[in-house]
Structure 1
């Protein structure tokens, strides 16, 4: 998608003298902050690229964005225009987090509380399962001949071991964002809000924790602290589940990067992004902790740390 966004076709901007500025970030969207002198204050998310390659359902994204707002953790939906590839949401006051912000125990606690509120909110439209997503992404890569690390399939057996172990004590799914990198937390100093529901769906809450942990480059100590802030008093099985879901995030989302590297119109090093996730996954696949994590998560150890 090229050219200027057709903002003048949005009903919420009709008859207004509005001002627009670009917002940074967004690897599948271009985002604009639009205001006027009468109090309008919204963000327009303009989708770019082929959403079907990435498994994005824009209708579900809009619905789930509204559900997150109902949970008190997301921005309100102002207008949804699938014909324009646009979603308009209210502007959230605050600061988008960066990885280093999680060094602050207060930030970490607010992020965990926001995640817990989302998970306790209304059910989302659609489900998300990284094992199904990884299989679909891998099929896309192969069918289209996209570049893939030559050792990617070396870990297929271990990946299946992880899938089986996580299935042993799978609890109920909850509404999850599934893409909570640091920039998707908006912190106003008192509470965090969560944005960007492209990959949202009902899922294992521990995937959310693991995905955040790896996307935000949390240290092992921070992973434990974040899990404790969310769970309260995590067991060894809880911590093992987060660690294994970190691996799932890394191995599965790495394919997202390789697909984007071949197909996205956005000028960004998607291949490097995917390689970084893949190398993280390889370190766990080949590391000494994987057998213990598989045993602990499947065995459901209840011993406290």
Structure 2
């Protein structure tokens, strides 16, 4: 990595220490400390176009999030190398246990609200479209498809039509708020890693948080209620349906990573199958039709 660091003016020509950071599933991340400060250098480790990642869009979304004080400051971008340089945020990375604390869910709802009220991002993000794109790639390249995956496509179409009935428009969303993308500096929360950022239904953001940390339904209700300021049954149902789509869509993300990404030592298939099994339980449970009815009703 030395040659990459040497091409970054902030980091070249001065003593530096380098620490590889854990957790990246599409990047190699390094904390680089020089006399002028500490920075995170993110080096792409995947074929972004396969995963619906546009590095130019990621850069512009990172800039927008930094301007409103939600994301880390952006200090450089080398698109020819797939490198993004942001400020290092001192603090503690969230865990799933943190998101099981109602007080933290209220803090997260607040920072999501600030992001969602900010300037529009450079693209839209729709998991229904992303999932279809992933499916085309999986089939074209012969990657593994979970058993009976296609059996649930009619349900997906019914969910899409149901959500269209009360379409709420799009706001700038992060779209990938697993705990590792949330930093607590002791006073406030920061959101990092804008690879999948785009304008989206805010209930996808909330449902994806619920899905990624496998939270209880009570905690989903807590999160949605904190976000909207009052309990809205149709919003809770909407977030739950979009959380189901999150599980179903990211399953194929894992299939693509399993087939295409040889540079990161991670069991993508098992990670994806855990999501898929939870999605199947919801698709085949007795409450899906009632949930769609709830999503279109007025409170």
- TM-score (ref. length: structure 1): 0.95
Q: Residues of 1 paired with 2:298 and 2:97: CA distance? A: 32
1:239–1:12 Cα change, 3 Å: same
Tell me the distance in 1 between the aligned counterparts of 2:105 and 2:128: 28
> In the alignment, what sits opposite 2:279?
281
What is the rounded CA distance, in whole Å, between the counterparts of 2:119 and 2:72 in structure 1?
Answer: 15
Provide the residue aligned with 1:13 in structure 2: 11
Alignment partner of 2:162 out of 134, 151, 165: 165
Q: In the comparison of the two structures, how many residue pairs are matched? A: 298
Secondary structure in 2 aligned to 1:61? Answer: helix
For structure 1, the 5+ residue unaligned runs are none
> Is the Cα–Cα contact under 8 Å of residues 116 and 172 in structure 2 kept in the other structure?
yes
Matched position secondary structure for 2:19: strand
Task: Find the aligned partners of 1:163 and 1:105 in 2 and give their Cα distance.
Answer: 30
Name 2:242's counterpart in structure 1: 245
Q: 1:29 aligns with which of 24, 27, 30?
A: 27
Out of 192, 197, 200, the residue aligned to residue 195 of structure 1 is: 192
Looking at structure 2, the residues matched to 189 and 107 of structure 1 have their Cα atoms a distance apart, in angstroms, of: 12
Distance 1:5 1:213 in 2: 40
| CA 1:237–1:264: 2 relative to 1, 3 Å | same
What are the within-5 Å matches in structure 2 for residues 148-159 of structure 1? Answer: 148-159=145-156
Distance (whole Å) between structure 2 residues aligned to residue 189 and residue 277 of structure 1: 31
Q: Deviations over 1:145-202 (max 9, x none)?
A: 0011120001011111001011111112000110000110101222110001001100
1:130-279 equivalences under 5 Å are 130-265=127-262, 266-279=264-277
Tell me, yes or no, if structure 1 residue 52 matches structure 2 residue 53: no
Counterpart of 1:12 in 2: which secondary structure? coil
SS at match of 1:125: coil
Contact 1:155–1:285 (CA<8 Å) still a contact in 2? yes
Report if the CA contact (8 A) 1:42-1:90 is conserved.
Answer: yes
Instruction: Indicate the RMSD between aligned Cα atoms, in angstroms.
Output: 1.2
In 2, the alpha carbon distance for the partners of 1:94 and 1:5 equals 29
